[in-house]
Amino acid sequence: MSRGAPEQDIDENGLRVGEPGHAAAGVKGVLVSLQRSVEQMGVARTARTLPLLNQRDGFDCPGCAWPDPRAEEGDKRKIAEFCENGAKAVAEEATTRRVGPEFFARHPVAELTERTDYWLGQQGRLTHPMILRDGDTHYRPIEWSEAFRVIADGLRELDSPDEAAFYTSGRTSNEAAFLYQLLVRSFGTNNLPDCSNMCHESSGSALTETIGIGKGSVSLSDVEHADLVLVVGQNPGTNHPRMLSSLEKVKKRGGRIIAVNPLPETGLMRFKNPQNARGVVGDGTRLADEFAQIRLGGDLALFKALNALVLKAGAVDRDFVDGWTHGFDEFAEQATEVDWDATALATGLEREQIERIAEMVIRSQRTVACWAMGLTQHKQGVATIREIVNLLLLRGMIGKPGAGVCPVRGHSNVQGDRTMGIWEKMPEKFLAALESEFGVPVPRQHGLDTVDTIRAMRSGRVKAFIGMGGNFVSATPDTDATIRALRDCDLTVQVSTKLNRSHVTPGRTALILPTLGRTERDVQAGGEQFVTVEDSMSVVHRSRGRLAPASDQLISEVAIICRLARELLGPEHPVQWESFERDYDVIRDHIANVVPGCTDYNRKVREPDGFVLPHPPRDSRTFPTATGKANFSVNVPEPIEVPPGRLLLQTLRSHDQYNTTIYGLSDRYRGVEDGRRVVLVHPDDIAELGFAAGDLVDVISEWQGEEGLEERRADRFRIVAYPTARGCAAAYYPEANPLVPLNSVAEKSNTPVSKAVIIRLERA
Ligand SMILES: Nc1nc2c(c(=O)[nH]1)N[C@H]1C(S)=C(S)[C@@H](COP(=O)(O)OP(=O)(O)OC[C@H]3O[C@@H](n4cnc5c(=O)[nH]c(N)nc54)[C@H](O)[C@@H]3O)O[C@H]1N2
Ligand SMILES: Nc1nc2c(c(=O)[nH]1)N[C@H]1C(S)=C(S)[C@@H](COP(=O)(O)OP(=O)(O)OC[C@H]3O[C@@H](n4cnc5c(=O)[nH]c(N)nc54)[C@H](O)[C@@H]3O)O[C@H]1N2
Ligand code: SF4
Ligand SMILES: [Mo]
């Protein structure tokens, strides 16, 4: 039997702090994943479910977007092709706990609002469509057909389709994503904000500009055959655990790893592979050869210095630069001298270390650069990634085996959703293809992204919100402002698997539409269906759930979209919506005609390992940029001014959460147990600020807005002494989101700056 959901809320006084972990994974990781699985779904269901995870005829892990081994690359899948956190993600979805009509009858919305994200998520799977009508205190069950009528009426009442915003989180399958954007564009708007706006948008912007395509250029085999891997602004031990197996292979082949991070993340330092004897009993593999403990936001200065050193050493790959790039002279002109004082200030690193790293870069014949949120969620995130591209271009590291760019994606299908058209500014070519395939007019005016959607809600320009998965309120910045914005909407609709804060932040009329998850069987009139997804390395493959659905009321995301479309667009609409729901092959035939690189989609996704989407720079050193070449760029670091007595805060993930879904209250690798309202600060900073470890403080962020200094608060955090870079602090997302100002965004990508918030601490 599974254990019940916690009745009590979190007791912050239960916080315990120990030594940060020594090595990632190992047997402890295996035990934790089994324990969680059994707690949530019982022994029998665990035994049925986990063996199907990431297998060819099973389902794609709903955890991160790290790829699976492929036979084509000479790799065999193991029996347990998953990690501790993948197993936890499955347990969360396959849980036997249920949130049905009785739950909502028992708990008024006003009470649920007071609960933590952890408590809400732990209550279980949503089982019935529910509605909260204007003036009601409780959600009540509603029939599906009536739900679609209410939503369609609400949308039709708007003065313009642009008054609605249609959000997507990155778990939505390719089939559902393709139909969703078709529905939204048929309705008449490009307002398709998504989680990617808060995630790898900076990578997309920087890569499109420099190499012509916003995706990574490496395969799993490239990473594993590199002789140098840079892991910058990323915590793979927690967020992409199976990446550690690949890094271990790099080490075994004699390659080197450089970790650039303000925190000595356990997984980057050492890894115990539970799948071999050394990982089970020994000390594990040491991963990072060089750990550059950088200050938050210092990466642009670091990479500028590295590039100057590469130029100075004459280590430029002239053939590559002459043959395939544009803008080298202008770049080289400004990249000659390193301003060591400015670099030290921005990075906090010693000159000797930067020179050592430059040496490693210069000696490397096959370099891969990996990064994640530590780079993208900064004001100069786009510029920083462009500067990393400069480094790879100088060394000719794009479009050859064992080398390239590797933005490591978050959600399991966030990359696929973009490929399928979930973007507020899809290129004209895609829109034109969509229009001609379906014979419906498609709007061309760019839509709103996530931050602009919140702004538009605040000024009354957006009045209806539909979320295809995700947890908009807890994931976005400036929580208090976002809550008000959402509450001001006339209509809010959340298509979800589990209860979350967005459900208890209703607009005037609010609906919860429960849906099938990845692990569940999807049976339609045309038989049992599978869906397709794309991983971080552009591999598209099938995913098929096997468990019985959490309730007989659940319908798939595809079915929800098709039924809403029929209600909203009417029976005369030229798109044959009913044909899609019966048989997903029909959707895939349209995908093949519209989405670049997807010809013959139905056949190719049925290959055992799926297929790899084209990537011109990787495949043939073709760069589809404006200049037709890979572009060098000139990037100028702007120092982040932190006033005296203040710290620079990053908001990050613990080892026991999936974004806004909290699995548990501990962060094992960082030695934090049973408490999430903590702020990690360097011991010397704690002393200098006049506090002691364990003190209870309110955290206040300071932001220079257009109308002067703005302050935002998050109360009652415990100070934890932690070996982070000096002057820097860390707190968990989403608890710290009220501190992130809505207007603090990355240049070009409009991504919230979640990794550099100026804060002060006050005794609580
Ligand atoms: N188990 C689990 N897996 C996940 C997720 C999850 O929540 N749980 N989330 C998924 C999603 S959507 C995403 S996007 C990814 C996120 O994966 P990550 O990007 O690894 O996630 P974060 O916890 O935000 O960690 C950011 C890392 O960057 C470092 N960092 C912060 N600022 C800087 C900086 O200025 N410079 C440098 N060099 N480093 C910096 C932090 O110390 C931290 O190690 O993980 C995905 N996988
Ligand atoms: N301060 C701060 N804020 C951040 C970040 C940060 O590092 N710091 N990271 C940002 C990043 S990288 C991201 S990606 C966003 C994440 O933002 P979101 O994607 O919006 O958030 P999640 O927590 O992943 O969404 C969880 C919810 O998705 C629903 N769900 C799960 N599986 C399915 C499914 O199969 N179908 C459907 N329909 N629903 C499902 C469940 O109901 C669950 O409650 O947050 C961003 N916000
Ligand atoms: S590395 Fe990511 S995709 Fe792979 S099993 Fe772990 S969570 Fe799932
Ligand atoms: Mo993400």
The residue type at 568: L
Neighbour-count burial of 606, counting CB atoms closer than 10 A to its CB (0-12 exposed, 13-18 middle, 19+ buried): middle
β 290-292/509-514 pair status: unpaired
Confidence of residue 696 (pLDDT cuts 50, 70, 90): very high
Neighbour-count burial of 117, counting CB atoms closer than 10 A to its CB (0-12 exposed, 13-18 middle, 19+ buried): buried
**Protein residue closest via CA to atom 31 of ligand 2:** 497
Residue 434 parent element (H or E): helix 428-438
pLDDT of residue 8: 44
Give ligand 2 pocket residues (Cβ under 6 A).
Answer: 169-171, 195, 198-199, 373, 377, 410-411, 468-472, 475, 495-498, 500, 515, 517-518, 557, 651-652, 659-661, 733, 736-737, 740, 754
Confidence of residue 2 (pLDDT cuts 50, 70, 90): very low
pLDDT tens digits for 132-146?
Answer: 999 999 999 999 999
- Report the mean per-residue pLDDT for the chain: 94
β 228-232/367-371 pair status: parallel
pLDDT tens digits for 518-546?
Answer: 999 999 999 999 999 999 999 999 999 99
Whole-angstrom distance, CA of residue 637 vs CA of residue 302: 10
47-61, 432-446, 600-614, range with the lowest pLDDT = 47-61
Distance 22 CA to ligand 3 centre (A): 21
Which ligand is closest in space to the CA of residue 242?
3
Top mutation candidate among 37, 240, 245, 539 for ligand 3, by most atoms within 8 Å of CB: 240
* pTM: predicted TM-score of the whole model, two decimal places: 0.96
Which ligand is closest in space to the CA of residue 299?
1
* Mean pLDDT within 375-401: 98
Task: Return the number of other C-beta atoms located less than 10 Å from residue 671's C-beta.
Answer: 16
**Protein residue closest via CA to atom 5 of ligand 3:** 82
pLDDT of residue 11: 46
The answer to whether residue 119 scores a pLDDT higher than 60 is yes
pLDDT of residue 7: 44
**Protein residue closest via CA to atom 8 of ligand 3:** 86
Structure tokens that stand for 261 in this block: 């991070």
* Mean pLDDT within 332-337: 92
pLDDT tens digits for 182-226?
Answer: 999 999 999 999 999 999 999 999 999 999 999 999 999 999 999
Going along the chain from its start, the domains and CATH numbers come out as: 12-93 (no CATH), 98-197+413-599 (3.40.50.740), 201-408+627-631 (3.40.228.10), 647-763 (2.40.40.20)
pLDDT tens digits for 724-764?
Answer: 999 999 999 999 999 999 999 999 999 999 999 999 999 99
* Mean pLDDT within 638-655: 97
**Percentage of residues in the chain having pLDDT higher than 90:** 85
Which ligand is closest in space to the CA of residue 373?
1
pLDDT of residue 269: 83
Atom of ligand 2 nearest to the CA of 476: 47
pLDDT tens digits for 57-115?
Answer: 888 888 899 998 887 766 666 666 778 888 889 889 999 999 999 999 999 999 999 99
The answer to whether residue 448 scores a pLDDT higher than 50 is yes
pLDDT of residue 6: 46
Place of tokens 């949530």: 40
More confident: 29 or 569: 569
Distance 373 CA to ligand 4 centre (A): 8
Q: How far is CA 413 from CA 190, 648, 658, in A?
A: 20, 32, 14
Name which of 160, 169, 120 is nearest 10 in CA terms: 120
pLDDT of residue 79: 60
Distance 168 CA to ligand 2 centre (A): 9
pLDDT of residue 75: 65
Name which of 117, 171, 196 is nearest 752 in CA terms: 196
* Mean pLDDT within 478-492: 97
Top mutation candidate among 172, 194, 497, 744 for ligand 2, by most atoms within 8 Å of CB: 497
**Protein residue closest via CA to atom 3 of ligand 2:** 475
Phi, psi of 79 (to 5 degrees): -65, -40
Neighbour-count burial of 675, counting CB atoms closer than 10 A to its CB (0-12 exposed, 13-18 middle, 19+ buried): buried
Confidence of residue 281 (pLDDT cuts 50, 70, 90): low
Structure tokens that stand for 670 in this block: 């960082």
